[in-house]
Amino acid sequence: MASFTIAAAAALLFCLLAADGCCAKNSNKTHHAPPSPGTSPPAPVSSANATDADTGGWLDARATWYGAPTGAGPDDNGGACGFKNVNLPPFSAMTSCGNEPLFKDGKGCGSCYQIRCVARNHPACSGVPETVIITDMNYFPVSRYHFDLSGTAFGAMALPGRNDQLRHAGIIDMQFKRVPCLYPGLTVTFHVEDGSNPYYLAILVEYEDGDGDAVQLDIMDSRDGMTPTGEWVPMKESWGSIWRVDTRRAMQGPFSLRITNESGKTLVADKVIPADWKPNAIYRSVIQFN
């Protein structure tokens, strides 16, 4: 027990002293951290595995913060999930790193959680729930569940006018619960990553209502630039919420994509990526999880 306490204290000191907190800096590939004690909180109410954490119960966690006091966390407004511009809507800097039970080796990317801290945690805490999105990986957890929040999200848990006072605490006890994600007016969106070509295609999945995450992405290409092959090919998780497929033959668009979320629900975006697709382009579907 003494050795665990010393290790936890050392990890906490590292987090508080490091300029980038406990999270990744400019992550661009998959990282595998050892699992933290405990199990992952399950998906929201739609999941067959829902627990009290999803139906109104709160779980205990600890929170730290990193980056600029009113920023989105990473200097590049990205993170280990691959999302871009998380300082802008719909993320609006309400973002967080999660340790492994939350990040889930990338499959927790995009999950939404309500967080709150109350007066017994810190006198500046408001007790009002705020919603954050997992966009990054926490490498140095200091508790079973550890949210390394953006400065904006950490300060949002404070009473009006006491945001800086709460941030000065550095670390606080807090509570959280999994909630469905909601992106009003947005549909599931696919970003073709830089470096993609007919033999290698990497796709970032964003803005999924409900679970908010993707646990599998499958692709179907076309025979002649028009007719679908009818064959779904499983894509591999590259890193974070980016999925890839490598082939020995040149793939032809248009491409259809089939996305499966943590609750097992599946949606098909038919011919969502056109035949004249380009790397570093965004393609918006007409589908959304209910």
**Residue 145, domain member (yes or no):** yes
pLDDT for the residue 171: 94
38 and 145 Cβ atoms separated by less than 8 Å = yes
Clarify whether residues 253 and 130 are in a common domain.
no
pLDDT for the residue 22: 72
Clarify whether residues 152 and 15 are in a common domain.
yes
Domain extent, residue 223, equals 189-284
- The CA distance from 34 to 39, in Å, is 13
pLDDT for the residue 253: 93
Tell me phi and psi for residue 205, to 5 degrees: -105, 130
Cβ neighbours of residue 23 closer than 8 Å, sequence gap 6 or more: 66, 73, 74, 79, 80, 97, 136, 137, 138, 139, 148
- The CA distance from 14 to 10, in Å, is 6
Clarify whether residues 92 and 143 are in a common domain.
yes
At 196-222, the pLDDT tens digits run 999 999 999 999 999 999 999 999 999
Clarify whether residues 135 and 249 are in a common domain.
no
User: Which CATH number does the domain housing residue 117 bear?
Assistant: 2.40.40.10
pTM: 0.84
- The CA distance from 267 to 208, in Å, is 10
pLDDT for the residue 39: 55
Q: Which of 256, 185, 249, 254 is nearest to 217 (CA)?
A: 256
pLDDT for the residue 31: 32
pLDDT for the residue 29: 36
User: Which CATH number does the domain housing residue 239 bear?
Assistant: 2.60.40.760
216 and 203 Cβ atoms separated by less than 8 Å = no
Clarify whether residues 253 and 138 are in a common domain.
no
Query: Whose structure tokens read 């829902």?
Result: 50
> What is the sign, positive or negative, of the torsion defined by CA atoms of 219, 183, 155, 147?
negative
**Longest CA–CA separation in the chain, Å:** 66
Number of domains in the chain: 2
User: 212 — alpha (psi -120 to 50), left (phi > 0) or beta?
Assistant: left
What stretches in the chain show pLDDT beneath 70? 1-21, 24-56, 225
Clarify whether residues 200 and 138 are in a common domain.
no
At 63-105, the pLDDT tens digits run 999 999 999 999 999 999 999 999 999 999 999 999 999 999 9
Residue 43 neighbours by CB distance under 10 Å? 25
